[in-house]
C-alpha cells in the first residue's frame, strides 16, 4: 500500500492505493478488505472518490470492499481519494478480513499500513449579499444573492454560512433557503433572531464563488438589513472582504467571529385606501 504524498494541506486530497497479490497456486474468492474509515480517524479525513470492484464510486465511503476473484499470480489494485480535514497525522490501515469464506481469526494477519499528515493552511471566505433592488415599498418581494466567495489561493472545505435579516422582512418559509408558505414566525424581530445557518458547502476552490438565494417580503419601513458571514471551515479563517456599500457595523460581533457582509434596503411604507362596497339589495 502507498499514498501519493506524505503531507497534505487541509482541504486537499491524499490518494491511497492498495494492491492485493495472490501468491497461491489457485484462485482466491471473495477477498474482503477493510480500510481506515473517517470515524476511525475521528473525522480527520473523508472519502471523496474511490475506484475498485464497484468501479468509479463518488458516493460511498469505500472503507469495506470485496474483490470477487483474483487469479494465481495476479494482482488487483484499488484506490481511494481522501480529503484531509484536520492538521494531524492520520494512520491508514488496510486489512484483509475475509477470503474463500474464511474470516477473522481463521486468517493470517494480512495487513498493510501507512500514514498521512495534514498541514493547516489559511483560507479566506468573503461572503457577500446582493439584492435585486434596494428601493422598495412595503409588500414588495426582494431577492438576495448570498455569495460565498473564496478569495484565497487555497481550497476551502466544509464552509458554513450564516445569514440573517433585520426586522421588516418576512422570509419565504421558516427556513432561509425555503420556498412555500408564509408564517408570522418568519418575521425576525432583529438581526440576531433572524440569523441562522443558511448554506453549507463541501468545497470552494481558489477564487471561486458559489451562489445561493434568499427571498423575502418587505413588511416594514426604513433601513432594512440582510447580512451573511462565514461561521466555520476546516482551514484557518480570516475576515472576509467587504463591498463599499455594505454596512457591517450593524452586524459586527453579533453572531459568529468572522466579519459579516451586510446590505441595507430602503423601504417606504405604502398607504392604501379602501372604499367600502355598499350592500346590494338581494331583490
Evaluate if residue 274 carries a pLDDT over 50.
no
Q: Which of 119, 138, 158 is the last residue of a domain?
A: 119
Evaluate if residue 97 carries a pLDDT over 50.
yes
Mean per-residue pLDDT of the chain: 82
Q: Which of 75, 102, 119 is the last residue of a domain?
A: 119
- Write down the pLDDT at residue 269: 56
Evaluate if residue 280 carries a pLDDT over 90.
no
- Write down the pLDDT at residue 276: 45
- Write down the pLDDT at residue 254: 30
Same domain, 210 and 251: yes
pLDDT tens column, 29-73: 999 999 999 999 999 999 999 999 999 999 999 999 999 999 999
Q: What is the domain count for the chain?
A: 2
Q: What CATH number is attached to the domain comprising 64?
A: 2.60.40.10
- Write down the pLDDT at residue 162: 87
- Write down the pLDDT at residue 104: 82
Range of the domain at 199: 122-268
pTM, to two decimals: 0.77
Distance CA 68, CA 99 (A): 9
- Write down the pLDDT at residue 149: 92
Same domain, 255 and 127: yes
Same domain, 147 and 254: yes
Same domain, 140 and 105: no
pLDDT tens column, 119-176: 999 888 988 888 888 888 888 888 888 999 999 999 999 999 988 888 888 888 655 5
Amino acid at each position: 500500500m502507498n499514498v501519493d504524498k506524505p503531507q497534505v494541506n487541509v482541504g486537499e486530497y491524499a490518494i491511497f492505493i492498495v494492491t492485493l497479490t495472490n501468491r497461491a497456486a489457485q484462485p482466491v474468492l471473495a477477498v474482503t478488505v477493510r480500510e481506515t474509515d473517517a470515524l476511525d480517524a475521528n473525522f480527520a479525513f473523508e472519502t471523496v472518490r474511490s475506484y475498485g470492484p464497484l468501479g468509479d464510486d463518488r458516493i460511498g465511503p469505500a472503507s469495506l470492499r470485496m474483490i470477487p476473484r483474483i487469479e494465481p499470480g495476479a494482482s488487483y489494485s484499488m484506490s481511494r481519494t481522501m480529503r484531509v480535514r484536520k492538521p494531524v497525522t492520520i494512520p491508514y490501515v488496510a486489512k484483509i478480513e475475509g477470503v474463500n469464506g474464511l474470516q477473522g481469526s481463521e486468517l493470517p494477519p494480512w495487513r498493510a499500513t501507512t500514514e498521512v499528515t495534514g498541514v493547516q493552511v489559511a483560507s479566506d471566505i468573503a461572503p457577500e449579499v446582493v439584492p435585486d433592488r434596494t428601493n422598495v415599498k412595503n409588500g414588495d418581494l426582494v431577492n438576495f444573492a448570498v455569495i460565498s466567495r473564496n478569495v484565497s489561493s487555497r481550497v476551502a472545505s466544509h464552509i458554513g454560512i450564516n445569514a440573517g435579516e433585520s426586522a421588516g422582512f418576512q422570509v419565504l418559509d421558516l427556513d432561509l433557503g425555503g420556498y412555500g408558505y408564509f408564517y408570522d414566525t418568519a418575521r425576525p424581530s432583529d438581526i440576531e433572531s433572524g440569523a441562522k445557518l443558511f448554506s453549507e458547502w463541501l468545497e470552494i476552490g481558489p477564487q471561486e464563488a458559489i451562489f445561493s438565494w434568499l427571498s423575502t417580503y418587505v413588511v416594514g419601513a426604513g433601513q432594512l438589513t440582510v447580512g451573511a458571514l462565514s461561521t466555520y471551515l476546516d482551514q484557518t479563517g480570516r475576515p472576509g472582504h467587504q463591498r463599499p456599500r455594505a454596512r457591517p457595523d450593524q452586524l459586527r460581533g453579533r453572531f459568529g467571529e468572522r466579519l459579516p457582509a451586510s446590505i441595507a434596503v430602503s423601504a417606504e411604507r405604502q398607504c392604501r385606501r379602501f372604499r367600502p362596497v355598499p350592500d346590494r339589495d338581494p331583490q
